[in-house]
Structures are given as C-alpha cells and as structure tokens.
Chain A
Amino acid sequence: EDQVTQSPEALRLQEGESSSLNCSYTVSGLRGLFWYRQDPGKGPEFLFTLYSAGEEKEKERLKATLTKKESFLHITAPKPEDSATYLCAVQAVPGGSYIPTFGRGTSLIVHP
C-alpha cells in the first residue's frame, strides 16, 4: 500500500484557471513534506518543505499547505510555463533513515 498518494494523476487546465493538486499520506510521525517540480527530460527541482499542520508556503503562483493527513499545492492563475509534473515526498520517523518517500506525481498541462 502506497504511503504517499497523489491526485489527480493528470490535470489539464486553461491558462488562468486555478486549481489544486493533492498529496495524501498515511505515514505516522511526519517530519517533513517536500514538493518538487519536474520538467520533461529533467530531474526534479525542489519547491517547498512543510513541517507541521497549518503551515503554508508560497512561491509565485504556487502555494503549498499541510494538514495532518494531506498537503495541497494550489496553483493560482496558472500559465503554460507551469506545465510540469509535480511530485511530493514525505519524510517520517519510522525507518530511522529519514529518506523521503515519493508519490507518483501529478502531470499538469496548462493550455494557453
């Protein structure tokens, strides 16, 4: 069973059409939740780290929020250049190594 589930798998938006991506997790003892952006043919690029429920972080048109069970990546008035795959990863106490576990990602396409 996946510890990290991202939804939807794919999302198509029109330019300016705001929406949210979801990352739900089942791990206990969350130490950190990471959001990455991945462009085609490239490695993931770090966006945000969230540590505790209620925390929010923003960067340009992106805002990440965290609850005790899930995180949302809100995209406000997206532009075509926001098209990418967005990955979340959770870091939890069980296991001891604190190596983050990644979700499968949400592929976002923003049409002009």
Chain B
Amino acid sequence: DAGITQSPRYKITETGRQVTLMCHQTWSHSYMFWYRQDLGHGLRLIYYSAAADITDKGEVPDGYVVSRSKTENFPLTLESATRSQTSVYFCASSEATMNTEAFFGQGTRLTVV
C-alpha cells in the first residue's frame, strides 16, 4: 500500500531497554522526520533526514538515535528507554522542506514502565 507506515502501533517497554520504532514510506520522498507528541507540548521534532545517510538533530534529540541507510526507511531507536520518553511518536515524510506539506504516519504509542 502506498503511504507512510509506522510499526508497532503500540509498545510497552521497561526502563533501560533498547527499543526501535520503524517507519517506511513508499513515495521516495527525500525528507523524513520523527516527532514526539505530548500533552502541553504539541509536536516536537526529534530528528530529521534530508536523504539517505544524511540526518540531523531536531529540538529534542537526547536519548534517541536514527539511521537512514535506504530512502524509504527511517528507524528511531531509544538506546536506553526512560519514563520521560513515554509519548506518541509520529514519523513524517515530504518531498522537500520548502513550502511542502508533510505526510504523517499513524503514530506509535510508546509506554516506558
């Protein structure tokens, strides 16, 4: 199916564990983004990527690692999960950043216990 898909949709993990959230898009968009959404904060950018093998930090990158070996995939890894990383995570993609809308996945609800 065309579009942008995230997996898993829901995840519960323990403090200190490593967890990876997956994101896959079928449009061959150059740009991909990871956001977290929390009550009272709205959408905050974690990392973004302008192309394969090019990534850069956003507003809240600490505790997260990203990679982009292929254009269509942009996984987000929490190296050692903390309770403060409990959130809803959204992946998005766009053709460019200038004056171009982003297309969002359905989100992953992550709970760290």
Binding site for B on A (CB under 8 A): 31-32, 34, 41-46, 49, 51, 87, 89, 91, 97-105
Contact = CB atoms under 8 A, between A and B. Distances in A.
Given A31-B99, A43-B106, A104 B92 contact: no
A99 B58 contact: yes
B80 interface: no
Contacts of A87: 42-43
B48 interface: yes
A89 B42 CA distance: 11
Interface of B: 33, 35, 40-45, 48, 56, 58, 90, 92, 97-99, 101-107
B42 A104 contact: yes
Given A31-B98, A43-B90, A46-B101, A99 B42 contact: no
A51 B33 CA distance: 22
Contacts, number: 54
A41 B108 CA distance: 9
Contacts of A89: 43
Please give me the 7 A-B residue pairs with the lowest Cβ-Cβ distance, nearest first. A43-B104, A104-B42, A46-B101, A102-B43, A98-B97, A32-B99, A44-B104
Contacts of B56: 97
Contacts of B102: 44, 46, 100
A45 to B, nearest CB: 7
Contacts of B107: 41-43
26 contacts: A31-B98, A31-B99, A32-B99, A42-B107, A43-B92, A43-B107, A44-B43, A44-B90, A45-B104, A46-B102, A46-B103, A87-B42, A87-B43, A91-B97, A91-B98, A91-B99, A97-B48, A97-B56, A98-B97, A99-B33, A99-B48, A99-B58, A100-B102, A102-B42, A103-B42, A104-B41
